[in-house]
Structure 1
Amino acid sequence: MDEQITSTRKIIAFEKGERIEKEDVIVTEFPLTIVLNGHEFATMVCTPTYLNEMVIGFLASEGVIRFYDRDITSITIDENKGFAYVETSSQITPSISNQTKRFIGSCCGKSRQSFYFQNDVKTAKTSMSKQTITYQQCIQLMKELQSSSRTFQATGGVHNAAICTPDTIIQARTDIGRHNALDKLYGHCLKHRINVQDKILVFSGRISSEILLKAAKIGVGILLSKSAPTELALQAAEELNITTVGFIRGDRLNVYTHPDRIIL
């Protein structure tokens, strides 16, 4: 396993009433500050893999860029100092009307809400996807996602996300932050010009309204999760024509919105 992603720590465990000294595998947290056209824009707490893709996906989801090759002239990642330097073709200067620097934690609470709903109108897409998937394929994709993540199996401390066809995973990404994992996928698709309209997004975490909007920004029409959705997320999914499937566990699942894309 990549030492950059995990570390080991001696711990005390109690199992069946017995005290045991052993080593545990711990996932790594890494702060990365994005410097956009010479101005500090955001600091993200993430898993230090695929940082280039994560920065691209994050800037696209925030409406800063639309295309990788057209809008970004350079990206330089300094992992030693924890900085990502981005230059864009149009000299965008981050707004400092609210605060001089935005911090994005890896937690699932309100740490990212200052970003959402500001640019969603112009960046969230109503899905035109005609793609369908069978109930059995939903089950299989979720099993494949979870079994393929060695970091999750070793630590239990990361989220997994993958862009897929109905039959297989095309690309998967892992991160301590739910949004980061999706940004890495988004960045990968933009960088490699992958058409996502006919693809499926498979995700390990809860479907919140923010996650649903992120899926809409990526451009998929089907979102699969092993966890629960929120009511606000489902309202957005109805409006954006996105099929949401949750609680994919074992051989069962729940279809919440636009069920016509899920077939037997």
Structure 2
Amino acid sequence: MFKRIACIRIGGGSAAHDAAEEAPTAIFVNGRHLTTVTLSPGGFEDFITGYLYTEEIIGSADEIESVRIEGNRISVITKNVFKRVSVKKTILSGCGGAVSYIDTRKLPAIDSDLMVSVPEVEAAVAALAAPGPLDAVALAGGGRIVARAEDLDRHNALDRVIGRGLQDGLDFSRTVAVGTGTVTSEMVRKCLIAGIPVLVSTGVPTALAVEVAEETGLCIVGFAGTPEMGVYAHPERVIGLGA
């Protein structure tokens, strides 16, 4: 995932350090080009399983017949080879062709009674560990990390751990997603598709992410692992607030 590169320092002299590699990767489903994404190299099978699931192209890992990885090309055959697919972005609504807002009625709501304690949140963030130049995302359940991934983009890392969870038969309704960076509405959408009830981040959520989470039952915890840690949506899912 890293390559040694050299630089000339502004103050004089030279140095070398590890830089994250990028892999522009073309995705084909049933022989048709779906999209091209930029990923960290490796772990493509976890990513493609999670990505196709959160884009609602498949409903489970079992719907994938085969995955072939050739360099920076991922070719997927689904069991329904005649299925035509397209990328679904965050569902928006508007009139006269003008997109104006996210229609939360078209998004699934969280159906889980999971509650987490503040110590559990803190332990999950500590187990995530410092990611360095990459974003990191993990799924925690039963007091331990059950899946973890790093990528150039936290959305891709989230797809990777969801893909791993699908292949392992994980019950997402009993898990917490823990990651680095800003929580976006797209990350909220991915958690809603998977049914993950709690999303924790070392960063802060966007205002739109909080609005969507409030309407769909997702709990968001921001600034986790810092004195500024706070719950931005559905605090009833967190035990020990103010303790």
> Which of the five TM-score ranges fits, normalised by the shorter chain?
0.7 to 0.9
Is the contact made by 1:137 and 1:166 (CA closer than 8 Å) also made in structure 2? no
Q: Does 1:207 align with 2:200?
A: no
Q: Counterparts of 1:53 and 1:124 in 2: how far apart (Å)? A: 24
- Residue aligning to 1:73: 65
Is the contact made by 2:147 and 2:165 (CA closer than 8 Å) also made in structure 1? no
TM-score normalised per structure 2:
0.87
Residues 122, 57 of structure 1: alpha-carbon distance in 2 compared, 3 angstrom cutoff: farther
Residues 41, 121 of structure 1: alpha-carbon distance in 2 compared, 3 angstrom cutoff: farther
> 1:79-228 residue pairs with structure 2 within 5 A?
79=71, 82-90=72-80, 91-94=82-85, 115-117=89-91, 124-147=107-130, 152-153=131-132, 156=133, 158-165=134-141, 167-228=143-204
One-letter code of the match for 1:190?
Answer: L
Q: Secondary structure at the match of 2:189?
A: helix
Is the contact made by 1:139 and 1:251 (CA closer than 8 Å) also made in structure 2? no
- Residue aligning to 2:2: 6
Q: Which of residues 34, 43, 47 in structure 1 aligns to 2:27?
A: 34
Q: Secondary structure at the match of 1:197?
A: helix
- Residue aligning to 1:234: 210
Aligned length: 230
Q: Secondary structure at the match of 1:64?
A: coil
Quote the offset at 1:250 in angstroms.
2.8
Q: Counterparts of 1:122 and 1:47 in 2: how far apart (Å)? A: 34
- Residue aligning to 1:58: 51
One-letter code of the match for 2:90?
Answer: Y
Is the contact made by 2:138 and 2:161 (CA closer than 8 Å) also made in structure 1? yes
Quote the offset at 1:136 in angstroms.
2.3
Question: Could you report, residue by residue, the CA deviation over 1:167-213 in whole angstroms, capped at 9, with x for unpaired residues?
Answer: 22111000001211011111111111111101100010211111111
TM-score normalised per structure 1:
0.81
Q: Does 1:23 align with 2:16?
A: yes
Q: Counterparts of 1:121 and 1:174 in 2: how far apart (Å)? A: 29
Q: Secondary structure at the match of 2:203?
A: coil
Quote the offset at 1:9 in angstroms.
0.7
Quote the offset at 1:215 in angstroms.
1.2
One-letter code of the match for 1:88?
Answer: T
Any unmatched runs of 5+ in structure 1?
Answer: 96-101, 103-113
Q: CA RMSD in A?
A: 2.1
Overall identity of the aligned pairs, in %: 25
Quote the offset at 1:122 in angstroms.
9.3
